[in-house]
Structure 1
Amino acid sequence: MKQAFLSFERLSTGLAMLGACAMMVVAASLGMYQIITRFVLESPAEWTEVLIRFSLIWMVFLAIPAAFRQGAMVCVDALYRWSRPSVRRMLEWLVFAASVLLMAIVLWWGWDYAQRGGMQTIAGLESLSMFWAYLALPVGAVFSIIGLIGALVDPHRLELETAQ
């Protein structure tokens, strides 16, 4: 059961990271397009600025699960190093509970915000609803919760291992 969940978690975190990388490519490409149209062609494309902003938001919320999975989000390294093994496990549970609570709040309010924003249109892109921009919050939160459970079941402390 544990291995099946960890396989699922690796797949979901990998998909989220692939999505984050794709959003980075979109943002960089649109940024280059914006520079060319504004300064070379002298005919700016205003819609690119909005899409860059939203792709960066999606990138951040899709990359958070990988950071959680590697133990890189909540820095309690000094306390973790100085603690006994029994206290370390309690500390892992405490960090897990606080992080899941935060992601549950982001999920709840992000979904609510996305639904309420569904009636708005994106400035510069009147045919697109704000729902798609705000949906990054609950989607990222779901992937993050899966990554957090994976980090609790199979902890990786990459920050501690590479610290100097």
Structure 2
Amino acid sequence: MKDGFLRVERITTAVSMAVACAMLATASGLGMLQIITRFVLETPAEWTEVLIRFTLIWMVFMGIPMAFRQGSMVSVDVLYRRSGPRGRRVLDGVVCLAALVLIGIIIWWGWDYANRGKVQTVTGLEEVSMFWAYLAMPVGGLFSVVALIGNLIDPQRHELETAQ
């Protein structure tokens, strides 16, 4: 069961990271398009700024699961280094629980915001609802829950290993 969960976790974290990378590439492309339309064609495309904002929001919330999985999001280095093996496991549990509570709040309120934003449109993209921007919070949160539990089961300390 543990191996099955970790297999699913690897897939979901890889998918979330691929989406985050795609959003970064999209934001970069839209930024270049905005520069070209504004300064070369002298006809600014106002919708690009809004889409850049949307893609950056999605990039952040879809990139968080990888940070959790690698153990680099919530770090309590001093306590971790001074603790024994048993203390480290307790610390891992406490940090995971605190992060799960925070992510749970983000999922709850993110879904509420997304539903409230259904009637709100975006300036520059009047046909697009704010629902799609706010949806990044609960979707990223759900991917983060899987990554957090994966890190609790199979801890990785990439940040701790590279710190001096």
Question: Does the alignment reach a TM-score above 0.5?
Answer: yes
Q: TM-score, normalised by structure 1?
A: 0.99
Gaps of 5+ in 2: none
Report what 1:159 is aligned to: 159
Report what 2:103 is aligned to: 103
Question: RMSD value over aligned CA atoms?
Answer: 0.6
Q: What amino acid sits opposite 1:114 in the alignment?
A: A
Q: How many residues align?
A: 164
Report what 2:13 is aligned to: 13
Q: Structure 1, residues 122-157: CA drift from partner, whole Å, max 9, x if none?
A: 111011111011000000000000000000000000
- The separation in 2 between residues aligned to 1:92 and 1:80, in whole angstroms, is 9
Q: What amino acid sits opposite 1:136 in the alignment?
A: A
SS of 1:42's equivalent in the other structure is: coil
Report what 1:115 is aligned to: 115
List, as ranges, runs of 4+ consecutive aligned residues in structure 1 with deviation greater than 4 Å. none
Report what 2:145 is aligned to: 145
SS of 2:148's equivalent in the other structure is: helix
1:77 CA drift (Å): 1.1
1:99 CA drift (Å): 0.2
- The separation in 2 between residues aligned to 1:27 and 1:119, in whole angstroms, is 25
- The separation in 2 between residues aligned to 1:34 and 1:120, in whole angstroms, is 24
Report what 1:126 is aligned to: 126
1:61 CA drift (Å): 0.1
Q: What amino acid sits opposite 1:162 in the alignment?
A: T
Q: Structure 1, residues 14-72: CA drift from partner, whole Å, max 9, x if none?
A: 00000000000110000000000000111100110000001000000000000000000
- The separation in 2 between residues aligned to 1:160 and 1:119, in whole angstroms, is 45
Q: Structure 1, residues 78-127: CA drift from partner, whole Å, max 9, x if none?
A: 11001111111110000000000000000000000000001111111011
Q: What amino acid sits opposite 2:152 in the alignment?
A: L
- The separation in 2 between residues aligned to 1:43 and 1:122, in whole angstroms, is 20
Percent identity at matched positions? 64
Report what 1:35 is aligned to: 35
- The separation in 1 between residues aligned to 2:12 and 2:158, in whole angstroms, is 20
- The separation in 2 between residues aligned to 1:32 and 1:69, in whole angstroms, is 32
Report what 1:76 is aligned to: 76
Report what 1:58 is aligned to: 58
SS of 1:118's equivalent in the other structure is: helix
- The separation in 2 between residues aligned to 1:160 and 1:138, in whole angstroms, is 28
